[in-house]
């Protein structure tokens, strides 16, 4: 009901109606002027001007025409207020749309940034893995190209590690049966220098350098799960390859690679049934065995 009333009022108080009122007022003004001129001889200077007639003409203009024009002015003012209100409403709607658009742009920018971060992380991981797999391929190539001859026997590939380890550990096992624990390291060094150092220097120098480079590369890389990649890498080691690495690291006292072997539990799957390992396992922190040392509670 109220809405219909407002609509009728708005239709009545329109700019078109105000213009008609102005025209009507102007027409009344002209009619009154003509009537006044018709009744009076204003151009005859000999005739005395009747001031009451001028007063009546003024009352007509001021009372009737002026009121009509005043009403037209009120209507135009009202129309201007309505238009201004519409403009304000339109501006408010436009502002709300701009705010919503800004929020949408902000959300889109956030999604774009998140996508960029994911793409950047993926690209970093891909570059890291490409380099890592090349280094691991080099590791495998070193192993596949090994060839060792000893006492008319020929050893190739992984069997070389077993033979190198057996030659060192057998001398160590025979000599350390009745020795005290504190003397084991010097005996291990003697056995290594006498029966293993030459072969390691000859066949495995580049192999161990590449191995250490791989561990250092994984540890220094950012934005990756280093433990996962170390676990993946150490899974390709054979039993005797891991035993020989253990021996080689123990001999090289205070080597830079030792803390990383401990950090990533590199000797998690070392064979503790080997006497050489049992006697020298204290060289590494227990973290190097990932809790698998049966003699450490």
Q: Residue 280, SS3?
A: helix
Q: How many CB atoms lie within 10 A of CB 96?
A: 10
Beta-strand pair 153-156/147-150: antiparallel
Tokens at residue 37, please?
């001129």
In the block, residue with structure tokens 């150490």: 234
- What sign has the CA pseudo-torsion 226, 213, 196, 285? negative
Q: Report the sign of the C-alpha dihedral through residues 201, 203, 208, 209, in that order.
A: positive
Q: What is the pLDDT of residue 173?
A: 61
Give tens-digit pLDDT for 93-136. 888 888 888 888 888 888 888 888 887 888 888 999 999 999 99
Question: In this structure, are residues 156 and 146 in contact, taking their beta carbons and an 8 Å threshold?
Answer: yes
> Rounded to an integer, what is the distance from CA 42 to the centroid of its chain?
93
Question: What is the SS3 assignment for 272?
Answer: coil
Q: Are 189 and 251 in contact (CB under 8 A)?
A: yes
- Please compute Rg for the chain using Cα positions: 52
For tokens 């105000």, the residue is 18
pLDDT in tens, 155-172: 999 898 998 888 887 776
Q: Which tokens go with 178?
A: 């009745």
Cα–Cα distance for residue pair 147/127, rounded to 1 Å: 33
Lowest mean pLDDT among 81-85, 103-107, 213-217, 251-255: 251-255
Tokens 């991981």 locate to 125
pLDDT one-digit tens code per residue, 21-60? 778 777 777 776 676 666 555 555 555 555 566 566 676 6
pLDDT value at position 240? 92
Model confidence over 163-205: pLDDT tens digits? 888 888 777 665 554 445 456 667 777 777 776 778 778 888 8
Tokens of 116: 């960029």
Angle (nearest 5°) at CA 173 between 185 and 264: 55
Cβ neighbours for 143, distance < 8 A, ≥ 6 positions apart = 157, 158, 207, 241
């Amino acid at each position: 009901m109220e809405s219909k009333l407002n609509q009728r009022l708005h239709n009545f108080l329109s700019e078109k109606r105000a213009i008609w009122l102005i025209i009507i007022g102007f027409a009344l003004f002209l009619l009154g002027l003509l009537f006044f001129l018709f009744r009076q001889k204003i151009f005859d200077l000999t005739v005395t001007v009747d001031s009451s007639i001028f007063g009546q003409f003024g009352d007509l203009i001021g009372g009737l025409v002026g009121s009509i024009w005043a009403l037209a002015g009120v209507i135009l003012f009202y129309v201007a207020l309505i238009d201004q209100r519409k403009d304000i409403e339109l501006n408010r709607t436009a502002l709300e749309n701009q705010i919503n658009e800004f929020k949408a742009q902000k959300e889109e920018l956030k999604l774009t940034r998140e996508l960029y971060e994911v793409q950047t992380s993926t690209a970093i991981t891909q570059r890291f893995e490409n380099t890592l797999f090349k280094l691991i391929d080099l590791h495998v190539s070193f192993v596949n190209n090994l060839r060792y001859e000893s006492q008319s026997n020929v050893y190739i590939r992984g069997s070389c590690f077993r033979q190198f380890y057996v030659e060192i550990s057998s001398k160590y096992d025979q000599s350390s049966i009745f020795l005290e624990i504190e003397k084991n390291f010097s005996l291990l060094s003697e056995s290594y220098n006498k029966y293993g150092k030459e072969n390691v220097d000859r066949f495995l120098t580049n192999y161990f350098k590449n191995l250490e480079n791989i561990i250092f590369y994984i540890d220094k890389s950012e934005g990756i799960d280093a433990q996962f990649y170390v676990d993946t890498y150490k899974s390709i080691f054979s039993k005797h390859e891991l035993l020989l690495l253990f021996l080689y690291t123990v001999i090289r006292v205070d080597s830079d690679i030792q803390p990383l072997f401990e950090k990533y539990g590199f000797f998690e799957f070392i064979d503790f049934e080997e006497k050489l390992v049992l006697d020298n396992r204290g060289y590494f922190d227990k973290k190097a065995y990932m809790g698998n040392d049966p003699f450490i509670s």
